[in-house]
Structure 1
Amino acid sequence: MNNPNIKTEFLPGDFDLLGSEKISQIDETYASQSYWHDILKRFTNNKGAVVGLIFILLVILMAIVGPHMSGRTYYDQNITHQNLAPRVPGLEKIGFLDGSEKMHTSQGAIKQNKYISADSSKTTGLEDVYYWFGTDVLGRDIFTRTWIGTRISLYIALVAVLVDMCFGMGYGLISGYFGGKVDMFLQRFSEILNGIPTLVIVTLLILVFRPGLLTITLALAITGWIGMSKIARAQVLKLKEQEFILASKTLGAKDFFIIFREILPNIFGQLIVMSMFSIPNAIFTEAFLAFIGLGVPQPLASLGTLISDAFKSFTTHPYMIVFPVIVLAIIMLSFNLVADGLRDAFDPKMKEV
Structure 2
Amino acid sequence: MNNLIQEAENTVFEFQPKDFEPAENHNINIDKVYAAKSYWKDVLSTFLKNKGAIVGLIAIIMIGIMAMIGPDLSGHTYDAQIITHQNLAPRVPGLEKFGIFNGSENMNTSTGKVKVNKYVDSSKTTGLENIYYWFGTDVLGRDIFTRTWTGTRISLYIALVAVIVDMCFGMSYGLISGYFGGMVDNIMQRFAEILNGIPTLVIVTLLILVLKPGLTTITLALATTGWIGMSRVARAQVLKLKEQEFILASKTLGAKDFYVIFKEILPNIFGQLIIMSMFSIPNAIFTEAFLAFIGLGVPAPLASLGSLISEAFKSFTTHPYMIIFPVIVLAIVMLAFNMLADGLRDAFDPKMKEM
Paired position in structure 1 for 2:226: 224
Q: CA deviation at 1:32?
A: 2.1
Paired position in structure 2 for 1:161: 163
1:114 aligns with 2:88: no
Q: CA deviation at 1:29?
A: 6.1
1:303 aligns with 2:321: no
Report if the CA contact (8 A) 1:117-1:124 is conserved: no
Match of 2:115, as an amino acid?
K
Q: How do 1:148-187 residues align onto structure 2 when only pairs under 5 Å count? A: 148-187=150-189
Give the alignment's TM-score, normalised by structure 1: 0.90
Report if the CA contact (8 A) 2:347-2:353 is conserved: no
Report if the CA contact (8 A) 1:134-1:143 is conserved: yes
1:255-305 CA distance string (max 9 Å, x none):
111100100000000000000000000000000000000000000000001
Query: Are the structure 2 counterparts of residues 352 and 313 from structure 1 closer, same or farther at C-alpha, using a change threshold of 3 Å?
Result: farther
SS in 2 for 1:88: coil
Paired position in structure 2 for 1:196: 198
1:306-336 CA distance string (max 9 Å, x none):
0000001001000000000000000000000
Q: CA deviation at 1:117?
A: 2.0
Match of 1:319 among 312, 318, 321: 321
1:214 aligns with 2:206: no
Structure (1/2) with the larger helix percentage: 2
Q: How do 1:257-336 residues align onto structure 2 when only pairs under 5 Å count? A: 257-336=259-338
Distance 2:220 2:192 in 1: 16
Q: CA deviation at 1:177?
A: 0.4
1:82-135 CA distance string (max 9 Å, x none):
00000000110111111000111111111100000289xx56511111000000
Query: Are the structure 2 counterparts of residues 219 and 352 from structure 1 closer, same or farther at C-alpha, using a change threshold of 3 Å?
Result: farther
Match of 1:45, as an amino acid?
K
Paired position in structure 1 for 2:136: 134
Distance 1:219 1:59 in 2: 25
CA RMSD of aligned residues (A): 2.0
1:161-210 CA distance string (max 9 Å, x none):
00000000000000000000000000000000000000000000000000
Distance 1:194 1:28 in 2: 53
Distance 1:105 1:152 in 2: 37
Distance 1:123 1:68 in 2: 28
Q: Percent identity?
A: 78
Alignment size in residue pairs: 332
Give the alignment's TM-score, normalised by structure 2: 0.90
Distance 1:330 1:63 in 2: 13
Match of 2:41 among 37, 42, 59: 37
Match of 2:157, as an amino acid?
Y
Match of 2:246 among 244, 247, 253: 244
